[in-house]
Amino acid sequence: MRKELETRMWLAQGLMICGLQPEAIHEYSIVLTTGEKIGIFDCMAHACWQLSNMYSHSGKLEEALVIALKEFELCNKTDSSYRKGVACAQLAYLYSIDENLEEADKYFSILSKLLPTDVISNEMHGFCSFLGVYFFAKGWLEKSDQFFKKAGKFHEKISLGTQRYFRQNYAWVLEKQGCVDEAKTQLNLAQKMNVNLQSFAETKFEHANLHLAILAPKYVQVGEDFEIRLDLVNVSRNSGVIVGLEGLIPSNAQITSFPPFCRVQENSILMNQMKIGPFQVNTIKLRFKLPEIGVYESKPSVSYVDDLETLRVNKANMISITAQLNLLKPEIKSKDITEPATDKLVFKSSAGEKAFDYLVNAFKQDYLAQKLPLDMSGWRTLTDIIKNTHLTLFGMYGQGGRAGKTTMELKHMNVIESCFFPGQRGRGGRVLKLRVRYEHKTVRQRIDLL
């Protein structure tokens, strides 16, 4: 559920960057309602931040403040100082625009206590224009100018969708200083970017545009059923009508199961005028059987009628499926392929071995010494591992949503398992814990030897 929510969150950001603001707001609203049910507070805070940005730069300051205060409330349910800092920078900015310096000071004070000055100055460069507005409102003109210069260099390298926000903020400061002509220049640039973005959205996403993605096995057993999944995606603001899928069924393949709204004709599948809405995904599952050994190839495409009643065809990547006998040999079926043949574990790094040894000892302490139940024994947070082994933060946590190298090494060896524990303080109100896999033969031997 968390991964699904994160995917929807990044989808919303992509829609916003492409100038599809109503669609982005819709997706962020789903993130908020779904996140509320399952307690994913960091995703909800990110959604609030983006919504507040869109509202404030659309002239809806009151709505922007309400959602930014909600963001701050959500951030306090996580342990991310940076996330809280972002919320504070945004509130300091919004209250400065609202000419409420008392509240602006309050949130800037919280920000200053949360993050060191160098982090605010260097790592928060994406929010420098927020702080530039606050510093100007406080009368600290030199500092304001410094932050706007840094923000300008940063925004030159990124999308029009966010660069226009920076220029609107800069125009506000220039106008307050009496630099009317310069303010108009910045506003005109922001307006031009906005027009270009809207033009791009209207041109790129105006008419129905269907794409076909296929999920199929690479190897199958001769004469046995297997499934192919088709995802039909309409990347546009208008509906279309699916006519059929051509070239999908490989030569000599037998189709054994298909939905009632489909009709098989030679190597194609015809739809019963299936409608597909704006930014909608229609999934179809089919079952096939390949009668002989060999490689079966197909070059599928989807034909559809767009909102202009024009027949269009989009091709998908070629798929290749190999049919063979004895796909799984009997000796492999009876063997636990997750465990190494040898009783000795070979680690690629000393960090991996150190983390593993700590988790083995943790399991022994809980299960053998304290007599805790098996399902409750050995669980430790990444922070516990780092503190007790002096391993690096990056090695365990990694970055960009991916686990660190040390964690990944242990996962690939299949000697640990992980679980999110709800109702505990941590990102999203839950905390990730690891422990060794006691059912693993070699792990169990290592524990018994201690």
The tens digit of pLDDT for each residue in 40-49 reads: 888 899 999 9
**Boundaries of every domain in the chain:** 2-203, 210-327, 350-449
Query: 2-203: which CATH number, 3.40.50.450, 3.40.640.10, 1.25.40.10, 3.30.1050.10?
Result: 1.25.40.10
Give yes or no for residue 339 having a pLDDT over 50. Answer: no
pLDDT for 416-433, tens place per residue?
988 877 655 544 456 788
Q: How confident is the model at residue 290 (pLDDT cuts 50, 70, 90)?
A: very high
| C-alpha closest to that of 429 among 110, 89, 115, 80 | 80
Give the least confident one: 126-135, 272-281, 358-367: 126-135
Long-range contacts of 189-196 (CB under 8 A, 24+ apart): 189/164, 190/164, 190/165, 193/160, 193/163, 193/164, 193/167, 194/164, 196/160
Q: How confident is the model at residue 212 (pLDDT cuts 50, 70, 90)?
A: very high
- How many other CB atoms are there within 10 angstroms of residue 396's CB atom? 23
pLDDT for 97-118, tens place per residue?
898 999 999 999 998 888 776 6
User: If you average pLDDT over residues 196-213, what whole number do you get?
Assistant: 89
pLDDT of res. 336: 43
Instruction: Supply 27's token pair.
Output: 């997706």
Q: In CATH terms, is domain 350-449 a member of 1.10.10?
A: yes
Most confident of 64-78, 394-408, 416-430: 64-78
pLDDT of res. 335: 40
CATH classification code of 210-327: 2.60.40.10
Predicted TM-score (pTM) of the model is 0.63
